[in-house]
Structure formats: structure tokens, C-alpha cells
Structure 1
Amino acid sequence: MHTDDFGFGTQIRKSPYFDATLRWGAKAFSVYNHMYIPRCFDSPEQNFWNLVNDAILCDVAVERQVEVTGPDAARFVQMLTTRDLSKMAVGQCKYVLLTNAEGGLLNDPILLRLAENHFWFSLADSDILLWAQGLAVHSGLDVTIVEPDVSPLQLQGPKSGMIMQALFGEEIMDLRYYWLREVELDGIPLIVSRTGWSSELGFEIYLRDSAYGDQLWERIMEAGAPFGLQPGHTSSIRRIEGGMLSYHADADISTNPFELGLDRLVNLDMEADFIGKAALARIRDQGVHRKQVGLVLDGDPLKGPNTTFWPIKQAGQTIGKVTSAIYSPRLDRNIALAMVSVDCAHIGGRVEIETRTGSTGATLVEKPFYDPRKRLAAA
């Protein structure tokens, strides 16, 4: 398959790893942050087993960075996020939420602090660059906001640490969960962090010069060969098992953090102000009308993820929707994330789901479905 076989025109960007992923067997792509992202090498089930048993390398250059620098960078970044950043150290990463004035979720990125006044928001799928630049215009703060030439890869799975040691030496394993380090590999400038969208042990490798994309991909695959490293893609099975959000599926601009059970990421008692603070205080005090829950669906294994929001009914009344559903071969269950009326969000409750193939029963359960304390990722 040739790079020109993908023909949406130049408005959909290709990552620095695009040609390499084709050579290594990428069969299909979707679009995320206006870029192609590989979505198929092996079957989703084989990709899952590669991830949880060995390691996979994923092109996630679609996780675009919004870079904030300048004398007021720390104040501006705090204004954007609901989480208290006052004790965030240089070299630290944090999972943060960005909300609008109504408390609606705009993005749930990883925030990286590279220097005292140098931050990256590593984005989920929405246009935060424009949001941040617009807010800066009338903020009265001295900041510069750009999209830098940065393209991340994810190296994820139980053997990812051994591969990282082969690449960078034993000292890379001193890197703590949700911390970053500036490194070079064969002269290639990188930031490495102990993060990833997999709920497994893993690292993200941020390339800081797209000209090296092909070289970096091949270098990592070569180092990983003795450990069974496979090219892969972000695993819907594993992220749903881990209860990880997918923006536009499990949350959008009309969803607030309290509905998602992310109260811990909303620090309303801190002195600093942030966009949406007053609205979120009202929502906290008044309570929410709906809530995210886990579901286990009856019936035969699903043949793939849901591509529409499946209605959820109880006693004939629609009470919510399934946002992400998949069959987990490890759990041997159909599992799903769903948003339901708070009055019906009782663990153990039974509901009916209108799937693409008909109606099926389901049980409300706690989430996440696997490794609830994130012990694997933090190992």
C-alpha cells in the first residue's frame, strides 16, 4: 500500500510515522485532531493481547501539543484547567480537564511542565489551540501559544520497560509514573514520559523534530524485536476495561466532570480562578441529573465497538445511552461505559440495551472493569 492511496486531500495531515506504519502493515486509519491515526494492524483482539502480554508501538502523533510559554504561562495554564497546579513541579505531568464557562468538558489532556514557564497540553480530540489563543487575546497575560513540531509515540505493555532500557539505558527506569525527562536517541531530540492511553505499563516518546519520524520508528522497532514488540494501535478493549474516556464518545462539551465521577480533578476550593469555576460550583451544590456507569451486556460477544449511541431503557423508559461498548476477551464479557439518569444509576440494576442487532439485557457494575487501582500502569 502506498502513502498516496489515502486520499482525503491535504486537509487531513499525515504524521511523521505515516509511511513507517504502512510499511509495518497498517490496514486502516481514522481521523483524530484533523490527522490520520492507524486503527488496524492485526485484529483488535490480537492487538489487545500484544499489548497486555508483550508491547506495542503506536503512532499517536494525533495527540497534538498546545505549547504555552511566556512570563505568565503558569497563571494562564491554571486559568484553563480545573485542577490545582500550584504544586506541579518542573518535569511533572498531570491528567487535567479543560472546561468552558458552563462547566462543559472541552478536552481531557495530559499537561506536561517542561520548565518554569513552558507547558504542553497533550490533547484529546478537540481544537484547544484555537480556544487557548482566543482566551489569551483578552486575558491581559503575557503568553505565547503555538502548536510545536512535536509528535508522540506510545510504547505500551509489560515489556515496554525492557525496550526503553535497551534504547536509553537502565537509568530510564528511574522515571516515575506521570513524570517526564528530556533525552536524545542517536541525536534525535525527545521528551519521554511515563504516561499512555492504555492502562498498562508504558511510556510516551515525544519527537521534537518531525524530520526524524521514520528513523525513530525503525529504531524503536529494532530495539523491541527481541522482546516481541509489535506495531499496534490504541486498544479500545483495554481502555474500556480501564474506564478511560474517549472524547466525543464518553464525553463532550455538554458533559461536566461531576457526571463522569471526576470530582477529584475539580479543585473548587483553591484560590486561583479558572474558566467554569462558578458553574462547576453550582453543579456540585445542585447535584447532577445523570452519571457515568459501567455495564456488562448479556449475549454473545460483540463483533466490534458500537458506532452509534445505543439507547438504554428501564421499565420501558429511556434512561440513558451506551457511549462505548466492546467485547473483552480477557474478561469474556461484553463491557460498556454508559451515561444514565442518576435516579437509575444503582450498581446491580438491570436495564435493556437497544443494540444494532436487537435488544439485550445488561447489568450496572462498578468501573473500571480491570485493575481499578492502575497498579499495572504505575508499576
Structure 2
Amino acid sequence: MTMAQRIGFGTQIRKSPFFDATLRWGATGFSVYNHMYIPRDFGDPVQNYWNLVTAAILCDVAVERQIEITGPDAAQFVQMLTPRDLSQMAVGQCKYVLITNTEGGILNDPIVLRLGKDHFWFSLADSDILLWAQGLAVHSGLDVTICEPDVSPLQLQGPRSGEVMKALFGDSILDLRYFWLRELDLDGIPLVVSRTGWSSELGYELYLCDGTRGDDLWEKIMAAGAPFGLQPGHTSTIRRIEAGLLSYHADMDADTNPYELGLGRLVDLDTDFIGKAALARIRDQGIRRKQVGLVIDGPPLSGPNTVFWTVKKDGASIGTVTSAVYSPRLDQNIALALIAAEHAVLGDRVDILVDDQPARARIVDRPFYDPKKTRPKAELKAG
């Protein structure tokens, strides 16, 4: 028996409504995210990547738990949580936002969905924002109700995902715009569907609103997708690093601020939110660290990094590699790193300790592929 087989979890780690379906369809490995199992292994991760970028994959991402905020003051409370200006956000729209603490550190980077005038969801990365939001509400003086609803998303991602959606919902689904949502019903299964996803490919998220229908929904999607090459899969580390998509606890945490990540566009200091004074000070004083891309010399990495690798310049430590992987499409080892701002010079060479082995790397811009995001924004055609 391996060490992995000896490690077990009790009922405190939840299973998603799709858990049994993912086992039937070949999931062999899981990790824990937001106190829930998430499939991380359907076989070769490189094949999973090619399935994603050439056809389509279906991923159980029910771990993206929802915080539901409703009530007469819901819009004001939601704005208090994030530095991004949401004053013009329409019903039916989705936005990528940051949630910041009083020091301007990032607590989460969810998608916020506006389902009604006074009805919002935050689709979370891996941190306990439900408790943060409920705690803030206690003395806020605002009339809001905050809970975790019975909502579990799937991601359908890849260039043929639109054809799968058309087979499921008809031509009308092709009118759904990038970062917008629609409430739908699939043979009695209640859903919210959005044109979003964590892949930077054309894709959709299907938010199941009845946890008893997980098996039904999974099987219906897989059956509809069979003619288009749909495969079961997991979120692709390769593709997300190519796209410069961030992973909470890896590329950022509560000690990382938006300006260090080049996300100043998500900070509007004319709005009122938690962390406003701190972020105004950081903007004025400048940052000490900056996120950069790296191309690392040497043979293909055997897999993603599982620890933070040290970045050195002239023998001195200047930061860490936060995410690294080999890209088969680019035929390069690519990485995201947080380094001292004065050393963040495009084209400069640095040294990396890759699992304690020295390697050379070059500082580059990111994202590494499709910087204008033409793939996820692709126009869909009926026919």
C-alpha cells in the first residue's frame, strides 16, 4: 500500500454531486479544495491538455463554492468586498474580481455573478470567504442575507464546447456573450449557465442548482458531447499557466496585493471597499515585488512544481517561482514568479533552483499564449 492510499479523510471533506460520475468516467486521483474533493487525475495530464485545446473537456469544479448575497443592501455590501467598481454591472453579467483585506492583501479572486437587482453569487477560489463575508455583515449595518446555496458548477471548456452546448440547448445558447449568464432548464434540471471558465479556451460553466441531479447532468452532457470528442477531464495546469491565470495560494495570498500582480485595473480608488486606504498608499509608494513570466532552460519539467522555487540574481535571492510547468505547445518550461520589483526587467537572466538543481531562466512578459484572449472570446456561429 502506498502512502497516498494510507492517507484518508472523513466526512469533513465533502463530495460533489458529480463525484460518483467522475469515478465511473476514470478519475483516479483527487485533491482537496474548499473542503471538498476535486478530481485531479484522469490519466496523462498532457493528453488532458490536448483534449482541452483541440476538442472539449468536462470538469467537476463544484469546489468553486458559491456565496449567495441577497437583500435590499446586497449591491452595497458586494461593493464593500471588492476594489473593482461594480456600479455599472448589469443583471446577467459576470465579473472577475479580487476580495481584499484591510491591508490590501488578496483573500480570494472569484467571479461575481449578478442574478438579480439584489441577488449575487461569488464563485470562489480556495479560501473561506463565506466566514469573512458573514463576519463583515454582523456590524455593517446593512440588510443582507449571506449563505452557501445548493449550487455546484461544472466546466465545459474547449473549442468544441459551443457545439456541445448547442446540442444541449439549441441555437439560442450561441447568443450568450463572454462573461454573461443565463438561467436555463435542461430536462427539468435547474441551471445557471455562464460563458466563463478557468482555461482561456472557449468555454462555459454550468451551475447545477439541485445537488440531487449531479449524475443526470454529467451523463447528459457527456452523451451530447460524444460526437464532438468531449472527454472527462480536470482543470489544466499547463493551459492556465500559458494564459497567465492565477491560482490562489500559489500565485497570490493575503500578503499579495493587486499591484504586484499587474491587476491595478481591478482597483478603483473612487469606490468604497475594504482595503481602500492601504491600496491607495501602495499605489503612491510603489511596489516592492512584481509578478513576471519566466522561460526556464533545460529538459521538460516532469510536472508542475509542488514547492516554491528560489529565484536568484548574482547569487542573492530575489523571489520565488510560484507556478511552473512544461508547455508541449510552446515546447518550453514556463513559469510565473514573484520577484523584487527592481529586478523585473524583461530579457534579463536569473537563476532558479528547480528541486534543488540549478537552472537558468529568462524574464518574459505574460501571458505566454494568446495575450489578447481571442480563444475564449471567439464568436460562435449557428449552423
TM-score range, shorter chain: over 0.9
SS in 1 for 2:166: helix
Q: Give the Cα separation in 2 of the matches to 1:356 and 1:293.
A: 20
Q: Give the Cα separation in 1 of the matches to 2:6 and 2:351.
A: 42
* Count of residues in Structure 1 that have an aligned counterpart in Structure 2: 374
The match for 2:343 is 344
- Residue 304 of structure 1, CA deviation: 0.4
Alpha-carbon displacement from aligned partner over 1:328-347 (angstroms, at most 9, x marks no partner):
00000000000000010000
Q: Give the Cα separation in 2 of the matches to 1:235 and 1:351.
A: 27
The match for 2:153 is 152
Distance 1:182 1:98, change over 3 A: same
The correspondence of residues 1-379 of structure 1 with structure 2, limited to 5 A, is 7-268=8-269, 270=270, 272-356=271-355, 358-379=357-378
Alpha-carbon displacement from aligned partner over 1:187-213 (angstroms, at most 9, x marks no partner):
000000000000000000000000000
Alpha-carbon displacement from aligned partner over 1:160-182 (angstroms, at most 9, x marks no partner):
00000000001101000000000
Alpha-carbon displacement from aligned partner over 1:256-282 (angstroms, at most 9, x marks no partner):
0000000000011x2x31000010000
Q: Give the Cα separation in 2 of the matches to 1:203 and 1:173.
A: 11
Q: Give the Cα separation in 2 of the matches to 1:85 and 1:306.
A: 36
SS in 2 for 1:253: coil
Task: Return the letter of the residue paired with 1:297.
Answer: I
TM-score, normalised to structure 1's length? Answer: 0.98
Question: After the TM superposition, which segments of 4 or more aligned residues of structure 1 sit over 6 Å from their partners?
Answer: none
Q: Percent identity?
A: 74
TM-score, normalised to structure 2's length? Answer: 0.97
Task: Return the letter of the residue paired with 1:22.
Answer: L
Structure 1, unaligned runs of 5 or more: none
Alpha-carbon displacement from aligned partner over 1:291-346 (angstroms, at most 9, x marks no partner):
00000000000000100000000100000000000000000000000000001000
SS in 2 for 1:46: helix
- Residue 42 of structure 1, CA deviation: 2.2
- Residue 7 of structure 1, CA deviation: 3.6
Alpha-carbon displacement from aligned partner over 1:18-53 (angstroms, at most 9, x marks no partner):
000000000100000000000010211000000000
Distance 1:293 1:103, change over 3 A: same
Task: Return the letter of the residue paired with 1:79.
Answer: M
Q: Give the Cα separation in 1 of the matches to 2:167 and 2:111.
A: 26
- RMSD (Å), alpha carbons: 1.0
Structure 2, unaligned runs of 5 or more: 379-383
SS in 2 for 1:334: strand
Task: Return the letter of the residue paired with 1:240.
Answer: I
